[in-house]
Amino acid sequence: MTAVLLPSGLEELWALWEQHPTAMPYAGGTDLLVRLRKGLAQAPALICLERLKELQCIEERGPELFLGALCTHQELLEHPLLRGRLPVLAQALAVLGSPPIRHMGTLGGNLATASPAGDTLPPLYVLGAEVELCSPAGVRRLSLTDFIRGPGQVTLGPREIVGGVWVAPPSDSVRQHFEKVGLRKALAIAVVSLAALIDLTPQGVVRGARLAWGSLGPTVVRSPRAEQALLGGRLRLPELRAAADIVADEAAPIDDLRATAAYRREVAGNLLLRLAQYGGG
Amino acid sequence: MPGVEAVLTHAQVRGSNRQGVIRKDQPVLVDDKVRHCGDAVALVVARDQGTLAAALGLIELELEPLEPVLDMTRALEPDAPLVHEDHPTGNILLAGELVSGRGQAALADCAQVVELALELPRQEHAFLETEAGWAILTPEGTLEIVASTQTPFRDRTEVAEALGLELEQVRVSAPYLGGGFGGKDGVTVQSLLGLAALACPGRPVKMWWSREESFLAGVKRHPARLHYRLGAESDGRLRALDADLCYDTGPYDHLGGVVMTLGLEHAGGPYRIEHVRLRARAVYTNNPVSGPFRGFGVPQAAAALEQAMDLMAQRLGLDPIELRRRNLARRGQRVASGARLDCSHGLEECLQKLAGHQWWRGRGAWKAQAGPFKRRGVGVAAVMHGLGYGPVVPDVANAKIELTPQGKIRVYSGVADMGQGNASTCLQIAGQVLNQGLENMELVLPDTERTLPSGSASASRTTFTYGQALIAASGQLRRRLLERAADLLFVASATELALLPGRVRHSASGRELPLARLAALMQESERVAVGRHRAPVSQERPTADEALRLHGLPHAVFSFATQLAAVELDELTGQVELKGFVSVCDCGRLLNQQLAEQQMQGAMAQGLGYALCEDFAVAGGRVQTPDLSTYLLPTSLDAPDMDSLWVQAHEPSGPFGLKGVGEVGMDGPLPAISNAVADACGLRAQRFPLTPERVLAVLGRPWAAGGRP
Ligand SMILES: Cc1cc2nc3c(=O)[nH]c(=O)nc-3n(C[C@H](O)[C@H](O)[C@H](O)COP(=O)(O)OP(=O)(O)OC[C@H]3O[C@@H](n4cnc5c(N)ncnc54)[C@H](O)[C@@H]3O)c2cc1C
């Protein structure tokens, strides 16, 4: 039997963790319990974070939004701030897992798992999100790229947890776009996904482009060259195709059971063509 | 090790240690060589799961590596190792050929010939309840097995033989199953439970496979390779067919020969084709065991034929429904297998209904509305599906019904209900004959000690055959109740009485006799009635090959269906989205429309998985999709709204005119979907399922003017 500790606030968490230094924290358990069942992780004791109310808020704080790590995907998805200001993230959450998974799984869990296929990651990368980490020593902020060091590898000190995510919502001139390619409509791990923020002038000229792909490499893949290629042009097929070619050339994905590397590479580029819908003809 | 009650190997198996229906070639515990990755070698009985897991981890297996046979091509090579050294035809479990007219030679004089080669995947049943059961050896020496099984009576014989027991010593019962689909048509846990129970007398033993174990050791739908050449006159009349079907049956028979034979019989579908050569083989390999799965060899055959039909329609510039309609074998005519169709036959009407359906009539406009990077297509398929065991193996059911001492009607069902709801249909049938509502009825589920042998819950014959036996038994009981009531009420003739819910009534005088009272005045032997029914067999002899006849060819009664799929393809990703699905089915009279629709919807969902995402991958003899996160079943979001329509062609040999509906819906989805994909993009993939990657590969880059360099 594994003991499960249930702190109801951060102070209690630190105290319990001190008494059970080898305990492993978890939130929705949708990743951890699968790993435990498969014998891929061992936990002498578990600390369930779900009662940490202070990390379950979604708030505007100054120019930024704070998204608590313990928010479930469903809570985030249903929040007007998220839908209104961060549609790229909302679109990703809408296709994450399935309804039961979205009601259990959390943002913090998705970040800490740092899967190459984590669906919140490409949106958070293009949004330039920062991760807030909490420990008995206090709170610190890291950029997402500093937080995620590799597949399943994150920067977390001893007895440190993810407290939440800080995001500055893009302005209204920015088109926000997310698409995931899976092998079915729910419970589908991304074969490849794309998050894009495209800032357009009133005339429809691209003046900013941020692109990020999931499942295309060990962590989220960016392509400054493809972003650069879009600048100054319009969202029309020839321009998008040129950027698509760059990505297809640069990417070095892997073969696995779900798809070959060649397919991923091609589709990673193809997904850019969908941006033509924002080009207005 | 403390907590371990028994460690058993083949040395403790006292019987033949062989299971199977036609060829008994599957050991309970391996005694000569391991033939696939899910073979059982040792059986450990422990007090709790933790001890069991620890004990299993301590087993050391010493194996001498042998050269495996990992695909059908290799299996058929002359120097291939033999999966069973004692099998007279080597790695060919069974082969069959049906030739009529001038056979494939007639292709040479056809105005048009289309050709098609296909590779179809292995499909996992993935029932909700994995293989499970429990057993006990009673102090009286009876081995009682309660199992999730479609075949309690056959299991009893198999277990007794394999374990060296007398038939009377074994009792098998089959309470409601959490799904079967054919995966429990045959022994799974039964003999293992028996062996464990014999080793631990007086103590109940339980076995319940985890999902991973079920994936590893459970049977699958046969992967198949097919090659078809179909020839027609320029007016659209089919003239010649050359079909070759190859089924990977894995290392054991497990009804694989019967599956192949049904595929062979249906290789030319519901059409009249004068010159045919149909060939099929079931091939032994060291891959996972293939066995029965809803459709039983026919989905593979229909996948090839119904795509060839569309290729032909396209070649001839004919409407695909019209081409099918023109070539139907009608009642009294011979289908391509060479057998005459004498059963009720509503397929022509099914096709007419489908042709008039909004999805078909409105397809042009719907396709034209495809958005950017999308392509839409609509495809159809038409199929028939034989019911029952064929001409040799008796397709018999024995029903028993009782007026209980409390005055209730108790039906003893001999056929398992695996979720399809035939137990309710039984009550409905008996209730209809005896004019009783559910509140006055009870049901006993299959149990070799209490119910009578009625064959398997399989082959679309469950209600078809058992229902007739039950009608006979119910009629007999009805007569007896009325006659006894007439005596007791001093009424001249039973015809003056009416059997009403819970009572008998003398219409003229209004006098009534409650059934409970009637029961009290009857002896037990009077209160019980039995009925037997043997399904009709075909008198046709399309082949002189007795092995094929034993394996079920030909059938006498068929259900029919035509199905339509509407798909939307994404040019950028190759994803195929099913947007609409229609089925028009003739399975005779419907006794329970809701249950029939559930069968159709379930089959369509399973068929869409077969077409689009389910692929039980095996490489080097090892399972690559060991669980539900890697083996992808369609979710509810992947299934579109489905429309089920019915043509009720009354079948005189079925209960109240009914024919089976369990399988016919499984045969059409894959070809209908593939035809829809081809309608959308003009191309076909050779390998299934149609994953986005395969579809993108056939699509090329239509969006790139001239393609990318
Ligand atoms: C059937 C199924 C389908 C899925 N589909 C998808 C999908 O489509 N897309 C996708 O991205 N993911 C998917 N997942 C994975 C998973 O649901 C998500 O990653 C989810 O966001 C994990 O959150 P959780 O709260 O359940 O994590 P948990 O399982 O509770 O934790 C996962 C890991 O993160 C750590 N952790 C959790 N919270 C914190 C925290 N606040 N601070 C520090 N460490 C923490 C835990 O110690 C653990 O190591 C799926 C999982 C399942 C079982």
Give the H or E element holding residue A267: helix A261-273
Does the domain at B396-534 match CATH 3.30.365.10? Answer given as: yes
- Chain B residues in contact with A191 by the CB 8 A cut-off are 692
Mean pLDDT over residues A134-151, rounded?
97
Give the H or E element holding residue B283: strand B275-284
Domain termination residue (choose one: A167, A201, A230): A167
Cα–Cα distance measured from residue B351 to residue B552, given in angstroms and rounded to the nearest whole number: 28
Does any ligand 1 atom lie closer than 6 A to the CB of residue A113? yes
- Chain B residues in contact with A267 by the CB 8 A cut-off are 572-574, 692, 696
By CA distance, what is A281's nearest residue in B?
Answer: B372
The distance of A90 to chain B (nearest Cα, Å) reads 19
Identify whether residues A206 and A232 lie together within a single domain. yes
Residue A169 pLDDT > 60, yes or no?
yes
pLDDT the model gives residue A100: 96
pLDDT the model gives residue B706: 39
Q: Is residue A246 part of a domain?
A: yes
Tell me the pLDDT tens digit for each residue of A208-246: 999 999 999 999 999 999 999 999 999 999 999 999 999
- Atom number of ligand 1 nearest to Cα A32: 29
* CB contact (8 A) between residue B635 and residue A270: no
By CA distance, what is B624's nearest residue in A?
Answer: A257
Contact indicator for B509, B447 with CB cutoff of 8 Å: no
Strand duo B618-619 + B396-403: pairing? unpaired
Residue A81 pLDDT > 60, yes or no?
yes
Strands (DSSP E) along B43-124, which ranges?
A: 43-46, 92-100, 112-120, 123-124
- Atom number of ligand 1 nearest to Cα A180: 8
Determine how many CB atoms are found less than 10 A away from the CB of residue A203.
Answer: 7
Q: Is residue A48 part of a domain?
A: no
Does any ligand 1 atom lie closer than 6 A to the CB of residue A110? yes
Contact indicator for B117, B239 with CB cutoff of 8 Å: no
Q: Is residue A38 part of a domain?
A: no
pTM over 0.95: yes
Distance B628 CA to ligand 1 centre (A): 18
- Atom number of ligand 1 nearest to Cα A101: 17
* CB contact (8 A) between residue B692 and residue A183: yes
Burial class (CB in 10 A: 0-12, 13-18, 19+), A80: exposed
Q: Is B296 left (phi over 0), alpha (psi -120 to 50) or beta?
A: left
Between the alpha carbon of residue B77 and those of residues B73, B81, B89, the distances in Å are 7, 9, 13
Does any ligand 1 atom lie closer than 6 A to the CB of residue A223? no
Mean pLDDT over residues A180-207, rounded?
97
Residue nearest to atom 4 of ligand 1 (CA): A97
* CA angle at B673 for the pair B669 and B679, rounded to the nearest 5°: 145
* CB contact (8 A) between residue A273 and residue B373: yes
Distance B119 CA to ligand 1 centre (A): 37
Sequence letter at residue A66:
F
Identify whether residues A114 and A218 lie together within a single domain. no
Q: Is residue A228 part of a domain?
A: yes
The set of residues, in sequence order, having a beta carbon less than 8 Å from that of B611 and lying 6+ positions away, is: B669, B670, B673, B674, B688, B689, B690
By Cβ distance, the residue of A184, A185, A267 closest to B572 is A267
The distance of A258 to chain B (nearest Cα, Å) reads 8
Identify whether residues A160 and A62 lie together within a single domain. yes
Give the H or E element holding residue A246: helix A237-250
- CA torsion through residues B485, B489, B495, B500, sign: negative
Residue with token string 């039973």: B494
Mean pLDDT over residues A26-33, rounded?
97
Identify whether residues A163 and A80 lie together within a single domain. yes
Tell me the pLDDT tens digit for each residue of A34-49: 999 999 999 999 999 9
Identify whether residues A94 and A120 lie together within a single domain. yes
Cα–Cα distance measured from residue B190 to residue B139, given in angstroms and rounded to the nearest whole number: 20
- CA torsion through residues B273, B277, B282, B285, sign: negative
Q: Report the top-level CATH class of B220-390+540-698.
A: alpha beta
3-state secondary structure of A105: coil
Query: Max Cα separation, chain A?
Result: 64
* CATH number of the domain within which A145 lies: 3.30.465.10
Distance A28 CA to ligand 1 centre (A): 7
Does any ligand 1 atom lie closer than 6 A to the CB of residue A178? no
The residue of A215, A263, A272 whose CB has the most chain B CBs within 10 angstroms, and thus the best one to mutate to test that interface, is A263
Identify whether residues A133 and A226 lie together within a single domain. no
Sequence letter at residue B429:
I
The distance of B693 to chain A (nearest Cα, Å) reads 6
User: How many domains would you assign to chain A?
Assistant: 2
* CB contact (8 A) between residue B575 and residue A181: yes
Does any ligand 1 atom lie closer than 6 A to the CB of residue A198? no
Edge-to-edge order in the sheet of strand B143-147: B170-173, B143-147, B132-137, B205-208
* CATH number of the domain within which A186 lies: 3.30.390.50
Give the H or E element holding residue B697: helix B692-699
The residue of B615, B637, B695 whose CB has the most chain A CBs within 10 angstroms, and thus the best one to mutate to test that interface, is B637
Q: How far is CA A266 from the centre of its chain?
A: 22
pLDDT the model gives residue A62: 95
Contact indicator for B290, B220 with CB cutoff of 8 Å: yes
- CA torsion through residues B245, B581, B114, B695, sign: negative
Distance A116 CA to ligand 1 centre (A): 13
Domain termination residue (choose one: A151, A167, A183): A167
Identify whether residues A145 and A214 lie together within a single domain. no
- Chain B residues in contact with A273 by the CB 8 A cut-off are 373, 572, 703
- List the beta bridge partners of residue A3: A45
Query: How does DSSP classify residue B289?
Result: P
- Chain A residues in contact with B632 by the CB 8 A cut-off are 183-184, 188
Give the model's confidence band at A1: pLDDT under 50 very low, under 70 low, under 90 confident, else very high: confident
By Cβ distance, the residue of B577, B617, B703 closest to A273 is B703
* CB contact (8 A) between residue B617 and residue A259: no
End-to-end Cα, chain A, rounded Å: 62
pLDDT the model gives residue B709: 27
Architecture (CATH level 2) of domain B4-66+131-208:
2-Layer Sandwich (3.30)
Identify whether residues A209 and A116 lie together within a single domain. no
Identify whether residues A152 and A180 lie together within a single domain. no
Identify whether residues A134 and A188 lie together within a single domain. no
pLDDT the model gives residue B704: 53
Q: Is residue A49 part of a domain?
A: no
Contact indicator for B219, B294 with CB cutoff of 8 Å: no
The set of residues, in sequence order, having a beta carbon less than 8 Å from that of B374 and lying 6+ positions away, is: B568, B569, B570, B571
What secondary structure, in 3-state letters, does B319-350 show? CHHHHHHHHECCCCCECCCCCECCCCCCHHHH
- Chain B residues in contact with A186 by the CB 8 A cut-off are 635-638
Which segments of chain B belong to CATH 3.30.365.10? 4-66+131-208, 220-390+540-698, 396-534
Mark out the alpha helices in A8-53 (DSSP H runs). Answer: 10-19, 32-37
What domain range includes position A139? 55-167
Contact indicator for B391, B538 with CB cutoff of 8 Å: yes
Residue count of chain B? 709
Q: Is residue A257 part of a domain?
A: yes
Cα–Cα distance measured from residue B208 to residue B211, given in angstroms and rounded to the nearest whole number: 9
Q: Is residue A206 part of a domain?
A: yes
Does any ligand 1 atom lie closer than 6 A to the CB of residue A28? yes
Contact indicator for B296, B258 with CB cutoff of 8 Å: yes
By Cβ distance, the residue of B629, B693, B708 closest to A260 is B693
Distance A178 CA to ligand 1 centre (A): 20
By CA distance, what is A261's nearest residue in B?
Answer: B693
Tell me the pLDDT tens digit for each residue of B133-173: 999 999 999 999 999 999 999 999 999 999 999 999 999 99
Low-confidence ranges of chain B (pLDDT < 70): 702-709
